[in-house]
Structure 1
């Protein structure tokens, strides 16, 4: 059964949003429990189209079946109001656009990663030693020719190149690529998953920081998509 990519992407965002909210509140229950099983039910409908069709026949006034339920649940959760507000231009727009065009990574995703990693501070340094706007480890930066990780142009180019590599490695699955960007490709590979759909079922095996990171970046990306860049 092939699930429409746009629908699967929104389901992933919703599940990550639920988990991120629970983690930040110190709640260890699953997102499915929080939503009263609604998320699980929609996913089951997607995997069982005949049942979904029967449900839609019972409720002909519903909006677009499962997709309509998804939109309604996202709206109820506050997702749209939180993540679709108009974004302000960044201070590194030309560098982001240059890297985006060179490596084929959406500029909205590059901006979201920078925002989540350093809040656009080119001098940021993490406790682990990651540096600059996209929080590059020295080894990663050097692999992309970085001589000064605090130089915005070099940092954004290398970080976007690395992100492009991860997107290619995981066949365009953004959730997996972001998990690898935060936790390392080795940790993601050990999960034995092939796509974002499978990632949802094994999120609990990733560090809480990574679970929150994926949801945060996807939400920020939606924000920056309202920018025409």
Structure 2
């Protein structure tokens, strides 16, 4: 699937906001502090490497469709470290679609389920006050850039939303709080904060919208619910 640079510019500048899905959640700082503490005490885990499609590179925060051969160099590598999955997950509606998309794009199934839970509570017909649609609450511009013609089709929505998560994982180096903040508030806004790790993001968390802070905590809590 080809995506022109203009569509991707629109995609990366569009926040994924679902104001209807944000409820009470553990405080952002508490959740992120707990997450960082767990990482500091856990044993290193080997991460898998996922290749992007031939001819597609990650450059300046955008995925381009390159003309001609892709030059392999440290600055234009097509591989990316993905978030570690934590093992088996509890079965949910749309299980096969979620598992398939997670395997295709190298995104942990538990993370996909948590985002769907927080965004729409697994309602494929959900529409937020901001106009985000479907299971993973894709904005219209984002959906178009991802090749999603019908955001209310569970297969298309999960495919597009998972691909978008994968792109954010690449852009923010697998830092999960930054990925979730970008999914909710828009990657351009998060990139402009001048932070590169979850710990740094925590130190300037007051700069994030209250909704985004709550959203991160909500997804993190949901992810633990789906992990066995």
Tell me which interval the TM-score lies in, with the shorter structure as reference length: 0.5 to 0.7
- Which of 216, 219, 222 is the aligned partner of 1:217? 219
TM-score by length of 2: 0.63
2:174 pairs with 1:172: yes
For the 8 Å contact 1:176–1:188, the answer to whether it is kept is yes
CA RMSD after TM alignment? 2.9
**Structure 2 unaligned residues grouped into runs of 5+:** 1-23, 43-87
Tell me, in whole angstroms, the C-alpha distance in 2 between the residues paired with 1:103 and 1:187. Answer: 24
Equivalent residue runs for 1:76-225 within 5 Å: 88-225=90-227
Higher strand share: 2
Question: Secondary structure of 1:131's match?
Answer: coil
Tell me, in whole angstroms, the C-alpha distance in 1 between the residues paired with 2:104 and 2:89. Answer: 23
Larger-gyration structure (1/2): 1
For the 8 Å contact 2:168–2:179, the answer to whether it is kept is yes
For the 8 Å contact 2:89–2:109, the answer to whether it is kept is no
Higher helix share: 1
For the 8 Å contact 2:115–2:219, the answer to whether it is kept is yes
The count of residues paired between Structure 1 and Structure 2 equals 157
For the 8 Å contact 1:20–1:211, the answer to whether it is kept is no
TM-score by length of 1: 0.62
For the 8 Å contact 2:105–2:162, the answer to whether it is kept is yes
Deviation per CA, 1:138-161, whole angstroms, max 9, x where unpaired? 111111111110000000000000
Q: Which deviates more from structure 2 when the two are superposed, residues 144-153 or residues 87-96?
A: 87-96
**Structure 1 unaligned residues grouped into runs of 5+:** 1-18, 24-29, 32-38, 47-65, 69-85
Tell me, in whole angstroms, the C-alpha distance in 2 between the residues paired with 1:22 and 1:94. Answer: 32
Deviation per CA, 1:122-177, whole angstroms, max 9, x where unpaired? 00000110000000011111111111100000000000000000010000001000
Equivalent residue runs for 1:67-82 within 5 Å: 67=41
Tell me, in whole angstroms, the C-alpha distance in 2 between the residues paired with 1:143 and 1:184. Answer: 14
Tell me, in whole angstroms, the C-alpha distance in 2 between the residues paired with 1:104 and 1:222. Answer: 19
